[in-house]
Amino acid sequence: MCRSLLTLLFCLWAWCAQAAPPSALEPALLRQLAAGDSEARIGAIQQLAGSRDPARVGEAAQLLQALEEGSLFAAGERLFLMGESDYRELATGATLAELPEGADGVMVNNRIRGVLANARAALALADPDAAVRRAAARELQTNAAYELEPVLAAALAGEQVEDIRALLVLAHAQANLGNPDAAARLAAVQALEASASPNTRSLLLPLTDPALEADARVREQAARSLKAIESSLALGETLGSVFTGLSLGSILLLAALGLAITYGVMGVINMAHGELLMVGAYSAYLMQSLFRSQFPALEDWYLLAAVPVAFFTAAAVGMLMERTVIRWLYGRTLETLLATWGLSLILIQAARVVFGAQNVEVANPAWMSGGITLLPNLILPWNRVIIIGFALFVLFLVWVLMNRTRLGMFVRAVTQNRAMAGCVGVPTARIDTLAFGLGAGIAGLGGVALSQIANVGPDMGQGYIVDSFMVVVLGGVGQLAGAVWAALGLGVVTKFLEGWAGAVIAKIAVLVFIIIFIQKRPQGIFALKGRFADQ
Protein backbone atom coordinates (compact mmCIF):
# COMPACT_ATOMS: atom_id res chain seq x y z
CA MET A 1 0.00 0.00 0.00
CA CYS A 2 2.76 2.43 0.95
CA ARG A 3 4.72 1.53 -2.16
CA SER A 4 1.68 2.28 -4.37
CA LEU A 5 1.12 5.59 -2.61
CA LEU A 6 4.76 6.57 -3.08
CA THR A 7 4.58 5.66 -6.78
CA LEU A 8 1.44 7.79 -7.17
CA LEU A 9 3.07 10.75 -5.42
CA PHE A 10 6.20 10.44 -7.58
CA CYS A 11 4.13 10.42 -10.80
CA LEU A 12 2.18 13.46 -9.59
CA TRP A 13 5.41 15.30 -8.82
CA ALA A 14 6.88 14.44 -12.24
CA TRP A 15 3.73 15.66 -14.01
CA CYS A 16 3.81 18.94 -12.08
CA ALA A 17 7.48 19.38 -12.88
CA GLN A 18 6.83 19.00 -16.59
CA ALA A 19 3.83 21.32 -16.65
CA ALA A 20 4.55 24.93 -17.54
CA PRO A 21 4.32 27.35 -14.60
CA PRO A 22 1.51 29.89 -14.58
CA SER A 23 2.23 33.42 -15.72
CA ALA A 24 3.89 35.83 -13.33
CA LEU A 25 1.63 38.57 -14.72
CA GLU A 26 -1.58 39.58 -12.97
CA PRO A 27 -4.72 37.76 -14.16
CA ALA A 28 -6.53 41.10 -14.44
CA LEU A 29 -3.83 42.35 -16.83
CA LEU A 30 -4.14 39.22 -18.98
CA ARG A 31 -7.94 39.58 -19.10
CA GLN A 32 -7.54 43.20 -20.14
CA LEU A 33 -5.21 42.15 -22.95
CA ALA A 34 -7.70 39.53 -24.13
CA ALA A 35 -10.53 42.07 -24.21
CA GLY A 36 -11.85 43.08 -27.63
CA ASP A 37 -11.56 46.83 -26.87
CA SER A 38 -8.45 48.47 -28.40
CA GLU A 39 -8.19 51.01 -25.59
CA ALA A 40 -8.10 48.23 -23.02
CA ARG A 41 -5.38 46.42 -24.92
CA ILE A 42 -3.33 49.59 -25.27
CA GLY A 43 -3.62 50.17 -21.52
CA ALA A 44 -2.45 46.61 -20.84
CA ILE A 45 0.49 46.99 -23.23
CA GLN A 46 1.54 50.20 -21.51
CA GLN A 47 1.37 48.47 -18.13
CA LEU A 48 3.56 45.66 -19.49
CA ALA A 49 6.05 48.25 -20.71
CA GLY A 50 6.50 49.43 -17.13
CA SER A 51 7.55 45.98 -15.86
CA ARG A 52 10.84 46.11 -14.00
CA ASP A 53 10.68 42.94 -11.90
CA PRO A 54 13.13 40.43 -13.49
CA ALA A 55 10.49 37.71 -13.11
CA ARG A 56 8.03 39.79 -15.13
CA VAL A 57 10.27 41.48 -17.71
CA GLY A 58 11.11 38.33 -19.67
CA GLU A 59 7.49 37.14 -19.82
CA ALA A 60 6.23 40.63 -20.67
CA ALA A 61 8.72 40.85 -23.56
CA GLN A 62 7.67 37.38 -24.78
CA LEU A 63 4.01 38.33 -24.57
CA LEU A 64 4.50 41.57 -26.51
CA GLN A 65 6.55 39.78 -29.17
CA ALA A 66 3.84 37.13 -29.53
CA LEU A 67 1.21 39.85 -29.86
CA GLU A 68 3.24 41.59 -32.56
CA GLU A 69 3.90 38.35 -34.46
CA GLY A 70 0.27 37.17 -34.30
CA SER A 71 0.93 34.09 -32.13
CA LEU A 72 -1.31 35.19 -29.24
CA PHE A 73 -4.90 33.88 -29.13
CA ALA A 74 -7.90 34.71 -26.95
CA ALA A 75 -10.94 32.63 -25.99
CA GLY A 76 -13.18 34.85 -23.90
CA GLU A 77 -10.94 36.11 -21.08
CA ARG A 78 -8.36 33.34 -21.53
CA LEU A 79 -5.07 33.95 -23.37
CA PHE A 80 -3.09 31.27 -25.19
CA LEU A 81 0.49 31.51 -26.45
CA MET A 82 1.27 29.43 -29.54
CA GLY A 83 4.34 27.19 -29.32
CA GLU A 84 5.95 24.95 -31.91
CA SER A 85 3.34 22.19 -31.62
CA ASP A 86 0.99 23.19 -28.80
CA TYR A 87 -0.63 26.12 -26.99
CA ARG A 88 0.04 27.34 -23.46
CA GLU A 89 -2.63 29.04 -21.38
CA LEU A 90 -0.90 31.98 -19.75
CA ALA A 91 -3.03 32.24 -16.62
CA THR A 92 -2.63 28.60 -15.54
CA GLY A 93 0.37 27.36 -17.50
CA ALA A 94 -1.66 24.44 -18.86
CA THR A 95 -0.57 23.02 -22.23
CA LEU A 96 -3.17 22.19 -24.87
CA ALA A 97 -2.78 20.32 -28.13
CA GLU A 98 -5.29 22.60 -29.85
CA LEU A 99 -7.15 25.80 -29.09
CA PRO A 100 -10.60 25.79 -27.45
CA GLU A 101 -13.57 26.29 -29.70
CA GLY A 102 -14.18 29.95 -30.52
CA ALA A 103 -10.55 31.03 -29.90
CA ASP A 104 -9.25 33.69 -32.23
CA GLY A 105 -6.04 35.65 -32.73
CA VAL A 106 -5.68 38.87 -30.74
CA MET A 107 -6.24 41.69 -33.23
CA VAL A 108 -3.46 44.25 -33.71
CA ASN A 109 -4.20 47.42 -35.69
CA ASN A 110 -1.76 50.13 -36.77
CA ARG A 111 -2.28 52.14 -33.61
CA ILE A 112 -1.57 49.14 -31.40
CA ARG A 113 1.51 48.30 -33.48
CA GLY A 114 2.94 51.75 -32.71
CA VAL A 115 2.25 51.28 -29.00
CA LEU A 116 3.81 47.81 -29.16
CA ALA A 117 7.02 49.13 -30.69
CA ASN A 118 7.38 51.71 -27.93
CA ALA A 119 6.50 49.18 -25.23
CA ARG A 120 9.09 46.66 -26.42
CA ALA A 121 11.72 49.39 -26.57
CA ALA A 122 10.79 50.50 -23.04
CA LEU A 123 11.19 46.93 -21.76
CA ALA A 124 14.60 46.72 -23.44
CA LEU A 125 15.74 49.68 -21.34
CA ALA A 126 16.04 47.25 -18.43
CA ASP A 127 18.39 44.94 -20.35
CA PRO A 128 21.88 44.56 -18.82
CA ASP A 129 23.47 44.83 -22.28
CA ALA A 130 24.33 48.48 -23.04
CA ALA A 131 24.01 47.90 -26.80
CA VAL A 132 20.41 46.70 -26.36
CA ARG A 133 19.56 49.70 -24.17
CA ARG A 134 21.18 52.06 -26.68
CA ALA A 135 19.15 50.62 -29.55
CA ALA A 136 15.95 50.85 -27.48
CA ALA A 137 16.65 54.48 -26.54
CA ARG A 138 17.18 55.33 -30.22
CA GLU A 139 13.93 53.63 -31.18
CA LEU A 140 12.08 55.71 -28.60
CA GLN A 141 13.30 58.88 -30.32
CA THR A 142 10.58 58.48 -32.95
CA ASN A 143 7.50 58.81 -30.72
CA ALA A 144 7.62 58.33 -26.96
CA ALA A 145 4.08 58.46 -25.55
CA TYR A 146 3.30 60.27 -22.29
CA GLU A 147 2.22 56.98 -20.71
CA LEU A 148 5.88 55.87 -20.86
CA GLU A 149 7.09 58.91 -18.91
CA PRO A 150 7.45 57.03 -15.56
CA VAL A 151 9.31 54.19 -17.30
CA LEU A 152 11.66 56.61 -19.03
CA ALA A 153 12.22 58.57 -15.82
CA ALA A 154 13.14 55.37 -13.97
CA ALA A 155 15.45 54.25 -16.78
CA LEU A 156 17.08 57.70 -16.87
CA ALA A 157 17.68 57.66 -13.12
CA GLY A 158 19.43 54.29 -13.29
CA GLU A 159 21.41 54.74 -16.52
CA GLN A 160 25.18 55.22 -16.16
CA VAL A 161 26.31 55.26 -19.82
CA GLU A 162 26.54 58.87 -21.00
CA ASP A 163 25.44 58.51 -24.62
CA ILE A 164 22.44 56.39 -23.58
CA ARG A 165 21.56 58.98 -20.93
CA ALA A 166 21.59 61.70 -23.61
CA LEU A 167 19.18 59.65 -25.73
CA LEU A 168 16.94 58.99 -22.74
CA VAL A 169 16.84 62.70 -21.87
CA LEU A 170 15.41 63.44 -25.32
CA ALA A 171 12.97 60.52 -25.17
CA HIS A 172 11.80 61.61 -21.70
CA ALA A 173 11.34 65.17 -22.96
CA GLN A 174 9.26 63.90 -25.91
CA ALA A 175 7.06 61.93 -23.53
CA ASN A 176 6.55 65.03 -21.38
CA LEU A 177 5.17 67.00 -24.33
CA GLY A 178 1.84 65.37 -23.46
CA ASN A 179 2.12 66.22 -19.76
CA PRO A 180 -0.89 68.16 -18.38
CA ASP A 181 1.52 70.34 -16.37
CA ALA A 182 2.57 73.38 -18.44
CA ALA A 183 5.87 73.68 -16.53
CA ALA A 184 6.78 70.10 -17.47
CA ARG A 185 5.93 70.80 -21.11
CA LEU A 186 8.04 73.97 -21.04
CA ALA A 187 11.04 72.06 -19.66
CA ALA A 188 10.52 69.36 -22.29
CA VAL A 189 10.49 71.90 -25.12
CA GLN A 190 13.69 73.49 -23.79
CA ALA A 191 15.39 70.09 -23.59
CA LEU A 192 14.35 69.20 -27.15
CA GLU A 193 16.04 72.31 -28.53
CA ALA A 194 19.28 70.31 -28.51
CA SER A 195 17.74 67.58 -30.71
CA ALA A 196 18.29 68.59 -34.32
CA SER A 197 16.10 65.94 -35.92
CA PRO A 198 13.17 66.19 -38.35
CA ASN A 199 11.05 64.10 -35.97
CA THR A 200 11.54 66.61 -33.14
CA ARG A 201 10.60 69.45 -35.46
CA SER A 202 7.32 67.73 -36.33
CA LEU A 203 6.61 67.20 -32.62
CA LEU A 204 7.23 70.82 -31.70
CA LEU A 205 5.41 72.40 -34.62
CA PRO A 206 1.88 71.83 -33.20
CA LEU A 207 2.93 73.51 -29.94
CA THR A 208 3.21 76.87 -31.73
CA ASP A 209 -0.54 76.80 -32.49
CA PRO A 210 -2.68 78.53 -29.81
CA ALA A 211 -5.51 76.12 -30.58
CA LEU A 212 -3.32 73.18 -29.56
CA GLU A 213 -1.17 74.75 -26.84
CA ALA A 214 -2.83 77.08 -24.35
CA ASP A 215 0.28 78.22 -22.44
CA ALA A 216 1.96 81.23 -24.08
CA ARG A 217 5.38 80.46 -22.56
CA VAL A 218 5.36 76.99 -24.08
CA ARG A 219 4.40 78.42 -27.48
CA GLU A 220 7.20 81.00 -27.38
CA GLN A 221 9.77 78.43 -26.32
CA ALA A 222 8.54 76.02 -29.01
CA ALA A 223 9.05 78.75 -31.65
CA ARG A 224 12.59 79.41 -30.39
CA SER A 225 13.41 75.71 -30.28
CA LEU A 226 12.02 75.22 -33.79
CA LYS A 227 14.22 78.03 -35.11
CA ALA A 228 17.32 76.47 -33.55
CA ILE A 229 16.42 73.00 -34.84
CA GLU A 230 15.77 74.29 -38.36
CA SER A 231 19.15 76.06 -38.38
CA SER A 232 20.86 72.85 -37.32
CA LEU A 233 18.93 70.83 -39.92
CA ALA A 234 19.90 73.32 -42.64
CA LEU A 235 23.55 72.97 -41.62
CA GLY A 236 23.25 69.18 -41.74
CA GLU A 237 21.66 69.29 -45.20
CA THR A 238 24.38 71.62 -46.48
CA LEU A 239 27.17 69.45 -45.11
CA GLY A 240 25.41 66.38 -46.50
CA SER A 241 25.28 67.93 -49.98
CA VAL A 242 28.97 68.85 -49.77
CA PHE A 243 29.89 65.32 -48.71
CA THR A 244 27.76 63.70 -51.42
CA GLY A 245 29.32 66.07 -53.95
CA LEU A 246 32.82 65.13 -52.80
CA SER A 247 31.86 61.47 -53.10
CA LEU A 248 30.63 61.99 -56.67
CA GLY A 249 33.70 64.11 -57.40
CA SER A 250 36.01 61.33 -56.19
CA ILE A 251 34.43 58.92 -58.70
CA LEU A 252 34.76 61.53 -61.47
CA LEU A 253 38.36 62.08 -60.42
CA LEU A 254 39.22 58.40 -60.76
CA ALA A 255 37.48 58.29 -64.13
CA ALA A 256 39.08 61.53 -65.35
CA LEU A 257 42.65 60.90 -64.14
CA GLY A 258 43.23 58.20 -66.71
CA LEU A 259 41.46 60.21 -69.38
CA ALA A 260 43.60 63.25 -68.58
CA ILE A 261 46.74 61.18 -69.13
CA THR A 262 45.66 59.55 -72.41
CA TYR A 263 44.07 62.69 -73.84
CA GLY A 264 47.03 64.78 -72.76
CA VAL A 265 49.65 62.43 -74.20
CA MET A 266 47.96 61.32 -77.42
CA GLY A 267 45.11 63.75 -77.93
CA VAL A 268 42.76 60.77 -78.29
CA ILE A 269 39.07 61.25 -77.49
CA ASN A 270 38.46 57.77 -76.11
CA MET A 271 34.71 57.14 -76.12
CA ALA A 272 35.33 53.67 -74.64
CA HIS A 273 36.81 55.08 -71.43
CA GLY A 274 33.52 54.56 -69.57
CA GLU A 275 33.62 50.86 -70.46
CA LEU A 276 37.00 50.61 -68.73
CA LEU A 277 35.13 51.62 -65.57
CA MET A 278 32.77 48.75 -66.31
CA VAL A 279 35.72 46.35 -66.66
CA GLY A 280 36.94 47.35 -63.19
CA ALA A 281 33.47 46.93 -61.67
CA TYR A 282 33.05 43.45 -63.16
CA SER A 283 36.51 42.55 -61.86
CA ALA A 284 35.23 43.35 -58.36
CA TYR A 285 32.18 41.16 -59.04
CA LEU A 286 34.36 38.23 -60.17
CA MET A 287 36.60 38.50 -57.10
CA GLN A 288 33.54 38.59 -54.87
CA SER A 289 32.22 35.41 -56.52
CA LEU A 290 35.62 33.73 -56.21
CA PHE A 291 35.93 34.54 -52.51
CA ARG A 292 32.35 33.40 -51.81
CA SER A 293 32.94 30.03 -53.41
CA GLN A 294 36.57 29.34 -52.48
CA PHE A 295 37.34 31.46 -49.41
CA PRO A 296 34.02 32.11 -47.61
CA ALA A 297 35.79 32.96 -44.34
CA LEU A 298 37.64 35.80 -46.11
CA GLU A 299 34.70 37.11 -48.15
CA ASP A 300 34.82 40.53 -46.51
CA TRP A 301 38.32 41.07 -47.94
CA TYR A 302 37.51 40.42 -51.58
CA LEU A 303 37.66 44.15 -52.32
CA LEU A 304 41.36 44.35 -51.47
CA ALA A 305 42.09 41.57 -53.94
CA ALA A 306 39.84 43.24 -56.54
CA VAL A 307 41.95 46.43 -56.61
CA PRO A 308 45.07 45.01 -58.35
CA VAL A 309 42.98 42.64 -60.48
CA ALA A 310 40.83 45.54 -61.76
CA PHE A 311 43.88 47.72 -62.44
CA PHE A 312 45.78 45.14 -64.47
CA THR A 313 42.69 43.84 -66.27
CA ALA A 314 41.58 47.30 -67.37
CA ALA A 315 45.20 48.21 -68.25
CA ALA A 316 45.48 45.11 -70.42
CA VAL A 317 42.22 45.94 -72.20
CA GLY A 318 43.39 49.53 -72.72
CA MET A 319 46.77 48.53 -74.11
CA LEU A 320 45.10 46.04 -76.44
CA MET A 321 42.81 48.80 -77.71
CA GLU A 322 45.77 51.10 -78.30
CA ARG A 323 47.88 48.46 -80.04
CA THR A 324 45.16 47.14 -82.36
CA VAL A 325 43.04 50.18 -83.23
CA ILE A 326 43.99 53.56 -81.82
CA ARG A 327 47.68 53.46 -82.82
CA TRP A 328 46.75 53.62 -86.51
CA LEU A 329 44.46 56.64 -86.09
CA TYR A 330 46.69 59.22 -84.35
CA GLY A 331 46.04 62.72 -85.63
CA ARG A 332 42.67 61.76 -87.13
CA THR A 333 40.30 62.97 -84.43
CA LEU A 334 36.98 62.10 -86.06
CA GLU A 335 38.08 58.58 -87.04
CA THR A 336 39.45 57.98 -83.55
CA LEU A 337 36.21 59.12 -81.94
CA LEU A 338 34.13 56.81 -84.15
CA ALA A 339 36.52 53.87 -83.66
CA THR A 340 36.54 54.16 -79.86
CA TRP A 341 32.76 54.49 -79.85
CA GLY A 342 32.63 51.22 -81.77
CA LEU A 343 35.02 49.68 -79.23
CA SER A 344 32.71 50.78 -76.44
CA LEU A 345 29.79 49.00 -78.13
CA ILE A 346 31.92 45.85 -78.47
CA LEU A 347 32.86 45.92 -74.78
CA ILE A 348 29.23 46.47 -73.74
CA GLN A 349 28.03 43.56 -75.85
CA ALA A 350 30.86 41.35 -74.56
CA ALA A 351 29.75 42.09 -70.98
CA ARG A 352 26.16 41.20 -71.89
CA VAL A 353 27.25 37.89 -73.41
CA VAL A 354 29.50 36.93 -70.46
CA PHE A 355 27.55 38.30 -67.49
CA GLY A 356 24.03 38.83 -68.86
CA ALA A 357 22.09 41.99 -69.58
CA GLN A 358 20.87 42.38 -65.98
CA ASN A 359 22.78 44.17 -63.25
CA VAL A 360 24.85 42.00 -60.91
CA GLU A 361 25.16 42.37 -57.15
CA VAL A 362 28.40 43.63 -55.66
CA ALA A 363 27.92 43.84 -51.90
CA ASN A 364 29.74 46.14 -49.50
CA PRO A 365 32.11 44.30 -47.15
CA ALA A 366 31.14 44.37 -43.48
CA TRP A 367 33.89 46.87 -42.72
CA MET A 368 32.33 49.32 -45.20
CA SER A 369 28.84 49.09 -43.71
CA GLY A 370 27.32 51.65 -41.37
CA GLY A 371 28.42 55.25 -41.11
CA ILE A 372 29.61 58.14 -38.97
CA THR A 373 26.79 60.09 -37.30
CA LEU A 374 27.76 63.76 -37.09
CA LEU A 375 24.27 65.22 -36.74
CA PRO A 376 20.82 63.60 -36.42
CA ASN A 377 20.22 64.27 -40.12
CA LEU A 378 23.83 63.82 -41.25
CA ILE A 379 25.30 60.32 -41.47
CA LEU A 380 28.45 59.80 -43.51
CA PRO A 381 28.33 56.24 -44.94
CA TRP A 382 31.58 54.34 -44.53
CA ASN A 383 31.55 53.18 -48.15
CA ARG A 384 31.61 56.75 -49.43
CA VAL A 385 34.17 57.89 -46.84
CA ILE A 386 36.49 55.05 -47.88
CA ILE A 387 35.94 55.82 -51.58
CA ILE A 388 37.00 59.43 -51.04
CA GLY A 389 40.10 58.26 -49.18
CA PHE A 390 40.84 55.70 -51.91
CA ALA A 391 40.57 58.37 -54.62
CA LEU A 392 43.01 60.61 -52.76
CA PHE A 393 45.41 57.66 -52.32
CA VAL A 394 45.29 56.88 -56.05
CA LEU A 395 45.83 60.57 -56.81
CA PHE A 396 48.92 60.55 -54.59
CA LEU A 397 50.32 57.47 -56.37
CA VAL A 398 49.70 59.06 -59.79
CA TRP A 399 51.43 62.26 -58.65
CA VAL A 400 54.46 60.26 -57.46
CA LEU A 401 54.51 58.34 -60.75
CA MET A 402 54.28 61.49 -62.88
CA ASN A 403 56.77 63.58 -60.89
CA ARG A 404 59.25 61.13 -59.35
CA THR A 405 59.74 58.39 -61.96
CA ARG A 406 61.40 58.10 -65.36
CA LEU A 407 58.10 57.01 -66.95
CA GLY A 408 56.37 60.08 -65.56
CA MET A 409 59.09 62.35 -66.94
CA PHE A 410 58.69 60.77 -70.38
CA VAL A 411 54.89 61.13 -70.24
CA ARG A 412 55.19 64.80 -69.32
CA ALA A 413 57.74 65.35 -72.07
CA VAL A 414 55.52 63.75 -74.73
CA THR A 415 52.53 65.72 -73.44
CA GLN A 416 54.36 69.05 -73.77
CA ASN A 417 56.21 68.47 -77.06
CA ARG A 418 55.99 65.07 -78.74
CA ALA A 419 58.34 65.95 -81.62
CA MET A 420 61.13 67.28 -79.41
CA ALA A 421 60.74 64.34 -76.97
CA GLY A 422 61.20 61.94 -79.87
CA CYS A 423 64.28 63.82 -81.06
CA VAL A 424 66.03 63.43 -77.68
CA GLY A 425 65.44 59.69 -77.56
CA VAL A 426 62.08 59.26 -75.80
CA PRO A 427 60.36 56.14 -77.24
CA THR A 428 57.09 57.91 -77.97
CA ALA A 429 55.30 54.84 -79.36
CA ARG A 430 56.08 52.80 -76.23
CA ILE A 431 55.12 55.75 -74.01
CA ASP A 432 51.79 55.95 -75.82
CA THR A 433 51.05 52.30 -75.04
CA LEU A 434 52.17 52.55 -71.41
CA ALA A 435 50.28 55.82 -70.85
CA PHE A 436 47.13 54.34 -72.35
CA GLY A 437 47.49 51.26 -70.14
CA LEU A 438 48.06 53.46 -67.07
CA GLY A 439 45.00 55.58 -67.83
CA ALA A 440 42.87 52.50 -68.44
CA GLY A 441 44.09 50.90 -65.19
CA ILE A 442 43.15 54.01 -63.19
CA ALA A 443 39.70 53.87 -64.80
CA GLY A 444 39.49 50.24 -63.64
CA LEU A 445 40.17 51.41 -60.07
CA GLY A 446 37.34 53.90 -60.51
CA GLY A 447 35.08 51.01 -61.51
CA VAL A 448 35.93 49.16 -58.28
CA ALA A 449 34.98 52.24 -56.27
CA LEU A 450 31.83 52.76 -58.33
CA SER A 451 30.74 49.15 -57.73
CA GLN A 452 30.33 49.96 -54.03
CA ILE A 453 27.76 52.73 -54.51
CA ALA A 454 26.09 52.05 -57.87
CA ASN A 455 24.61 49.23 -59.93
CA VAL A 456 27.06 47.10 -61.89
CA GLY A 457 25.85 46.41 -65.40
CA PRO A 458 27.00 46.51 -69.03
CA ASP A 459 25.84 50.12 -69.53
CA MET A 460 27.18 51.58 -66.28
CA GLY A 461 30.07 53.46 -67.91
CA GLN A 462 27.87 55.40 -70.33
CA GLY A 463 26.77 57.84 -67.66
CA TYR A 464 30.31 58.90 -66.75
CA ILE A 465 32.12 59.42 -70.06
CA VAL A 466 30.69 62.89 -70.74
CA ASP A 467 31.31 64.02 -67.16
CA SER A 468 34.88 62.72 -67.36
CA PHE A 469 35.57 64.73 -70.50
CA MET A 470 34.08 67.82 -68.88
CA VAL A 471 36.47 67.36 -65.95
CA VAL A 472 39.48 67.04 -68.28
CA VAL A 473 38.55 70.05 -70.42
CA LEU A 474 37.65 72.23 -67.45
CA GLY A 475 40.76 71.32 -65.46
CA GLY A 476 43.22 71.64 -68.32
CA VAL A 477 44.63 68.97 -70.61
CA GLY A 478 47.24 66.80 -68.85
CA GLN A 479 47.01 68.71 -65.56
CA LEU A 480 46.47 66.58 -62.42
CA ALA A 481 45.75 69.58 -60.22
CA GLY A 482 43.18 70.82 -62.71
CA ALA A 483 41.51 67.40 -62.80
CA VAL A 484 41.26 67.38 -58.99
CA TRP A 485 39.72 70.83 -58.71
CA ALA A 486 37.41 70.28 -61.67
CA ALA A 487 36.18 66.85 -60.47
CA LEU A 488 35.53 67.86 -56.87
CA GLY A 489 34.08 71.22 -57.91
CA LEU A 490 31.74 69.70 -60.47
CA GLY A 491 30.64 67.04 -57.99
CA VAL A 492 29.75 69.54 -55.26
CA VAL A 493 28.12 72.06 -57.61
CA THR A 494 26.09 69.34 -59.31
CA LYS A 495 24.71 68.04 -56.01
CA PHE A 496 23.74 71.53 -54.85
CA LEU A 497 22.04 72.28 -58.17
CA GLU A 498 20.21 68.93 -58.09
CA GLY A 499 18.74 69.81 -54.69
CA TRP A 500 17.65 73.20 -56.01
CA ALA A 501 16.43 72.50 -59.56
CA GLY A 502 16.55 68.74 -60.19
CA ALA A 503 19.06 66.44 -61.90
CA VAL A 504 18.24 67.40 -65.52
CA ILE A 505 18.44 71.16 -64.98
CA ALA A 506 21.63 70.68 -62.97
CA LYS A 507 23.30 68.83 -65.89
CA ILE A 508 22.24 71.53 -68.34
CA ALA A 509 23.45 74.33 -66.07
CA VAL A 510 26.84 72.67 -65.55
CA LEU A 511 27.27 72.11 -69.29
CA VAL A 512 26.36 75.73 -70.10
CA PHE A 513 28.81 76.96 -67.46
CA ILE A 514 31.64 74.84 -68.91
CA ILE A 515 30.91 76.05 -72.47
CA ILE A 516 31.05 79.68 -71.34
CA PHE A 517 34.17 79.04 -69.25
CA ILE A 518 36.03 77.36 -72.14
CA GLN A 519 35.09 80.25 -74.44
CA LYS A 520 36.81 82.64 -72.03
CA ARG A 521 39.69 80.33 -71.01
CA PRO A 522 40.30 77.61 -73.60
CA GLN A 523 43.28 76.16 -71.71
CA GLY A 524 41.13 75.30 -68.68
CA ILE A 525 41.71 76.12 -65.02
CA PHE A 526 45.42 75.26 -65.22
CA ALA A 527 47.15 76.11 -68.49
CA LEU A 528 49.70 73.74 -70.04
CA LYS A 529 53.24 74.99 -69.40
CA GLY A 530 56.14 74.92 -71.84
CA ARG A 531 56.99 76.15 -75.32
CA PHE A 532 54.52 73.78 -76.92
CA ALA A 533 51.67 75.50 -75.08
CA ASP A 534 52.43 78.74 -76.93
CA GLN A 535 52.36 77.23 -80.39
Enumerate the domain spans of the chain.
20-110, 125-214, 238-529
CB 451 within 8 Å of CB 284: yes
Q: Model confidence over 128-158: pLDDT tens digits? A: 788 888 888 887 776 677 777 787 888 888 8
Closest-CA residue to 136 (of 110, 94, 171, 85): 171
pLDDT by residue, tens only, the chain of 535 residues: 444 443 443 444 344 434 445 555 667 777 777 776 777 777 777 777 766 666 667 777 777 777 777 777 877 777 777 777 778 877 777 787 778 777 777 777 777 777 777 777 777 777 778 888 888 888 777 667 777 778 788 888 888 888 888 888 888 888 888 888 888 888 888 888 877 777 788 778 888 888 888 888 888 888 888 888 888 888 888 888 889 888 888 888 888 888 888 776 777 788 898 899 999 999 999 999 999 999 988 888 999 999 999 999 999 999 999 889 888 887 787 888 889 999 999 999 999 999 998 999 898 898 888 888 887 778 889 989 999 999 999 989 988 988 889 988 888 888 777 888 888 888 888 888 898 899 899 999 999 999 998 889 999 888 888 888 888 888 876 667 778 888 888 888 888 888 777 777 888 888 888 888 888 887 777 665 544 444 4
Residue 329, C-beta contacts closer than 8 angstroms, at least 6 positions apart: 335, 336, 339
In words, the CATH class of domain 238-529 is mainly alpha
CB 148 within 8 Å of CB 175: yes
Predicted pLDDT of residue 20: 46
Predicted pLDDT of residue 528: 55
Predicted pLDDT of residue 385: 92
Helix (H) or strand (E) holding 380: strand 378-381
Predicted pLDDT of residue 117: 74
Q: Model confidence over 333-367: pLDDT tens digits? A: 788 888 999 999 999 999 999 999 899 989 889 88
Contacts 24+ apart (CB under 8 A), 526-534: 526/475, 526/476, 526/479, 526/481, 526/482, 526/485, 527/476, 528/415, 528/416, 528/476, 528/477, 528/478, 528/479, 529/416, 530/416, 530/417, 531/416, 531/417, 532/416, 532/417, 532/420, 533/416
3-state secondary structure of 333: helix
Predicted pLDDT of residue 134: 85
Write down the mean pLDDT value for the chain: 81
Torsion angle, CA of 83/89/91/94, rounded to 10 degrees? -100
Separation between Cα atoms, residue 83 and residue 87, nearest integer Å: 6
Closest-CA residue to 471 (of 267, 257, 278): 257
pTM: 0.72
